[in-house]
A and B are shown apart, each in its own frame.
Chain A
């Protein structure tokens, strides 16, 4: 598949500080891409380059195969982590203003906004001032402002921070719906559990560098430690063999580590022969959180 966004050796420095250090990655069309990293790693700097807010010192960014230029902001929807609206403006006027700045005509803007307000069942907010809305309500408006021009790429920086569970779900399902409709989404966060839920592909940024990149499933395979968990009843006897180590065994929960993960079938077979009852047998894959911490730690040491 042709990538919609491609970064090549992008570098950005602020004074002596290297914020982005030769970062490359690709985002596929219709994919949800997780841009991960601890605070201050350089995620926002990368996003600002993609959104054309700043320019890279060196390296290239391609959007749809074209070099990033001044007409591209209209095809990007960006919701920054720190977000805000003009407090004194009316919701309707505000949305029209932001939509028109993205190149929509007045009538197109109106149609699109009506669609979204109806979808969220908030059409009666049109004449309300932004400052009259609660924080959660403002977040909805902010989200509409981000997607109103139907962008090809949607960049969300910590989109769920400050959202209540109901709004989180609402926005999440909208994100997934847009993904299925072909929108590519870059999702920047340091909250790993959200990434595992919705991202297929990630890049881990640390100290300005892209330290890890790939399919979530592949990365998990790459970082797994061949741990297996067995829930059982009875007295299992593990076969004596090289490369098998018991990590823990208490309360009917046995965790073993194998040198060769292919050996797991044989072990299960032998256990099944014994007069014990096996509830479950599963491979323990590391969570992204663990991988993230491990990677950042090793990065620090090196």
Chain B
């Protein structure tokens, strides 16, 4: 036991003390923060030169109210003729002329207005102008057709679905539960997927290094091969947990700081929305606040303690299961890269399949594919965390956990059987068949 602890300690400390570990652990959140900073900056960017636009209102739609100015766009109603304006554009210090032709048909669905300038307007200027004029035309039509404003506003309604349980005492979930479950689920699934690959591969490389380095024979004259393998897996697993824990604290903190210091908030995001949906109306701030509240409410309804504990369980389970396989394969490897790929492929394929099933499970968390994949031990570490936010039945979780624990023990045992033979085997071409034979070798 004491020797196992010594091995774990060394495996953990040598990795955590490495400069590359410290750098990636700290730089990754910084990179995220920088990314959001740049994105925020890009979307909040506005050209600083102010454009003056003369408006020739031939339709008379602006009589009921002018066009409000924007930060970098000034609208000035003009009485001069188009010809006059066109010729004296520069001396009058205009950048463009907007001509609104008379409206002949109040029932037309589309209208064309004209913009005269040296250079065609940029996309944002174009969308801004058309949305402003559209509003004016709307107001003009209401006035001309003598429509009732209150009635018109009543037409503008939305429908949202609020899921209710059949059983009256059942838990009421908010309309956002599905979306939040999917978001949390795929986030967890992706973390699991990365963990299995990054840290599993780390175990494999380390086993391979010990073998090609020839330190391994010295080591196993002091400790049992099983202790060495287990110590390595636990040590690397602890490194993974450390890294994820640091990120879990650092990323939200940095995100918060970035928002606080640089004030990249709704204004930037609204710019994004305007760009994306063209003339669509910006979200009503009241609606947005309401939605945020609902999301928070829905998130509050989730059993976070349970989700975190289970996530930790599946993290460890998936890590032990796959990294023991990676250790077994690493012990059989030589420096030959092609050969090592042939050996890792059978491990990476289930991980990839699980990754895709995870996305399907997030879409429909109670499909039979999702249920069985979250019980099958090779997939469950990635698929089950993705389903956790959807409150899967207790028996499914319990069964999945039981199967995973049993499989972990089995795989660690099998892997240690392969490992003890593999680390002392040099210069032999190894196939999956030979690995299978090694399991049954005597000690």
Contact = CB atoms under 8 A, between A and B. Distances in A.
A57 B424 contact: no
A57 B442 contact: yes
B222 A101 contact: yes
Given A86-B213, A101-B3, A53 B10 contact: no
Contacts of A80: 214, 217-218, 221
Interface string A74-89: 1010111011111111
B443 A76 contact: no
Majority DSSP secondary structure for residues of A touching B: loop
Interface string B1-44: 00100110010001000000000000000000000000000000
Interface in A61-96: 70, 73-74, 76, 78-80, 82-89
A210 interface: no
A153 B180 CA distance: 65
A53 B221 contact: yes
Which of A70, A100, A142 has most B Cβ within 10 Å?
A100
Interface in A9-48: 14-15, 48
A73 B221 contact: yes
B217 A82 contact: yes
Contacts of A52: 221
A52 B224 CA distance: 9
A54 interface: yes
Nearest to B219: A101
Majority DSSP secondary structure for residues of B touching A: helix
B215 A86 contact: yes
B222 A73 contact: yes
B441 interface: yes
A176 to B, nearest CB: 23
Interface residues of A, number: 31
B257 interface: no
A98 B14 contact: no
Contact of B221 (A15, A76, A87, A88): A76
Contacts of B216: 84
Nearest to A80: B217
Given A97-B6, A101-B6, A78 B214 contact: no
A57 B443 CA distance: 8
A86 B424 CA distance: 17
A84 B442 contact: no
A187 B42 CA distance: 72
6 contacts: A53-B424, A70-B224, A80-B218, A84-B213, A86-B14, A98-B222
Given A76-B221, A86-B14, 5 more contacts: A54-B443, A57-B442, A74-B222, A84-B215, A101-B3
Nearest 10 pairs of A and B residues by beta carbon: A84-B214, A101-B222, A84-B213, A78-B221, A55-B443, A80-B217, A84-B215, A82-B214, A51-B221, A53-B220
